[in-house]
Chain A
Amino acid sequence: MSVRLVWKGATRDPVEGPCLRPDLLAGLNVGALSRLRLDVEGQDATLADLFHVEINDAEAYDQLTIEGEMGRVRGIGAGMASGHLSTRGVIGPRLGFGMTGGTIEAKGDVGPWAGSMMSGGTLRIDGSAGDHLGAARPGERAGMRGGTILVSGDAGVGVGANMRRGLIAVAGAVGDDAGQGVIAGTILTFGPLGRRFGAGLKRGTIAALGPSAPSSITPGFGLACRYETAMLGLWINHLIAIHFPIPASSRARVVERYNGDLLEGGRGELLIGLEG
Chain B
Amino acid sequence: MRDEADNINGIEIVDTFAEAFPMTAARLIITAATAAWAETAARVVSGYATSVISCDAEVGVEQALHAEETPDGRPGVSLLVFAFSRDALEKALSNRVGQCVMTCPTTACYSGLPAGEKAVRVGGRLRYFGDGWQMSKLIDGRRYWRVPVMDGEFVCEDAFGTVKGVAGGNLILLGRDQASTLAATETAVAAMREVPGVVLPFPSGIARSGSKVGSKYKALRASTNQAYAPSLRGAVETAIPAGAQCGYEIVIDGLDLEAVERATAVGLDAALKCEGLVAITSGNYGGKLGPYHIRLRDLRGRYPCR
Contact = CB atoms under 8 A, between A and B. Distances in A.
Contact of B137 (A205, A227, A228, A241): A205
Given A229-B152, A230-B108, A231-B153, A236 B137 contact: no
Contact of A228 (B139, B144, B152): B152
B117 interface: no
B73 A229 contact: no
Contact of B155 (A203, A225, A234, A267): A234
9 contacts: A225-B152, A229-B152, A230-B74, A231-B137, A233-B74, A234-B137, A237-B73, A241-B140, A267-B135
Interface of A: 165, 167, 186, 203, 205, 225, 227-238, 241, 267
B151 A234 contact: no
Given A230-B108, A231-B144, A231-B146, A203 B135 contact: yes
Contacts of A232: 72
Nearest to A267: B135
B144 A234 contact: yes
B167 to A, nearest CB: 31
Nearest to A242: B140
A227 B139 contact: no
Contacts of A233: 71-74
Interface string B138-179: 111000101000011101000000000000000000000000
Interface residues of B, number: 19
Contacts of B137: 186, 205, 231, 234
A230 B123 CA distance: 14
Contacts of A205: 137
A228 B33 contact: yes
B136 to A, nearest CB: 9
Contacts of B74: 230, 233
A250 to B, nearest CB: 14
B31 interface: yes
B153 A229 contact: yes
B218 to A, nearest CB: 49
Interface string B67-82: 0000111100000000
Contacts of B135: 203, 267
Interface in B2-57: 31, 33
